[in-house]
Amino acid sequence: MHGNSASLKADRGLVDPFGRHVTYLRLSVTDRCDFRCVYCMAEDMTFLPKREVLTIEELARLGGAFIRLGVRKIRLTGGEPLVRRGIMTLIDYLARHLDSGELDELTLTTNGSQLARLADDLYAAGVRRINVSMDSLDPDRFRQLTRRGDLAKVIDGIEAALAAGLRVKINAVALKGVNDGEIDQMIAWCGQRGMDLTLIETMPMGQVEGDRFDFFMPLDVLLKEIEKSWTLIPSTHSTGGPARYYEIKETGTRLGLITPLSQNFCDGCNRVRVTCTGTIYMCLGQDDQADLRTPLRASEDDDLLVAAIQEAMTRKPKGHDFAIDRPGSRPATRRHMSVTGG
């Protein structure tokens, strides 16, 4: 993999207009997924033509450029990152920066469907923890929410990941009247396996069937219910993302809450997202973007790419425009969650 440039070495890192250092890149490697989760995708998605999607080598160059600009953590996302052909080649390349000390962590968010096959390879490459998106422990409800997912296969994948030595955190989107009645069960199930659980408020992104307001569950309300069964101790733990954590006294594991709507977390934002087409979004909840694919493909070295990344940083906003406070609220952005990888 090429793309080195001497001018990168002198850079002082990526700082936005509000003085926040961007050290965390969420890099989507595909818009494709083997599930069709109801809050993430439309049932009949139109996927991108192959020529628009960055190659594995281009994704590696892009990741390398961000690392040289001061990014210390990369999370690979999708769609479902593990369905991307050649994904282990990309992971092996990026993992070299772990060995050199330039990168602190390489991780990914997955639906778990491919983990039984790839967990050992991920650990061997240098990945040490992963997030698995799983919204229900009820097989029928799980299939309804994912429109095609097999819960048993996902649980097998989680067990394989734990056996391989990976730390697993479960991410669940809290949906009122859908899965909010099984949160206690999920806490107990995760606790038995030594896994943390993070609950996420549904985010108003992309047109999906139904009105998200009908399913919106403010996590401060859910927290009061959880505290009837569990002893929660506020924690200063942080993984570099937007979750705030509680220690669960009974299990010794953590409960995380991601609350983009009820409790905005923009002040400490240290991340940007790049799609599999090379579009950088400076904020998940805003449509402002910059094209990195054109400069990436225009030159063998990374000078044009770096200039485009640095220009994009000058436009990173203070916060998002999410709102879901009334029925019929329009999405903050038309693109689906699967496009930017969450």
151 in any annotated domain: yes
Segment (H or E) for 289: strand 289-291
Kind of pairing, strands 279-281 and 271-274? antiparallel
Q: Give per-residue pLDDT as tens, 22-47.
A: 999 999 999 999 998 887 777 777 88
10 in any annotated domain: no
12 in any annotated domain: no
Q: What is the CA radius of gyration of the chain?
A: 19
**Three-class HEC string of 166-217:** CEEEEEEEEECCCCHHHHHHHHHHHHHCCCEEEEEECCCECCCCCCHHHHEC
8 in any annotated domain: no
Number of domains in the chain: 1
155 in any annotated domain: yes
Among the residue ranges 6-10, 57-61, 287-291, the one predicted with the least confidence is 6-10
Q: Give per-residue pLDDT as tens, 113-167.
A: 999 999 999 999 999 999 999 999 999 999 999 999 999 999 999 999 999 999 9
Confidence (pTM): 0.87
Q: Give per-residue pLDDT as tens, 42-94.
A: 777 788 899 999 999 999 999 999 999 999 999 999 999 999 999 999 999 99
What the block records as the tokens of 228 is 């009837």
Question: What DSSP character marks residue 328?
Answer: T
34 in any annotated domain: yes
**Chain position carrying tokens 């733990």:** 237
82 in any annotated domain: yes
Q: What is the CATH number of the domain that holds 131?
A: 3.20.20.70
Containing domain of residue 40, as a range?
19-340
Which residues face 196 on adjacent strands?
169
7 in any annotated domain: no
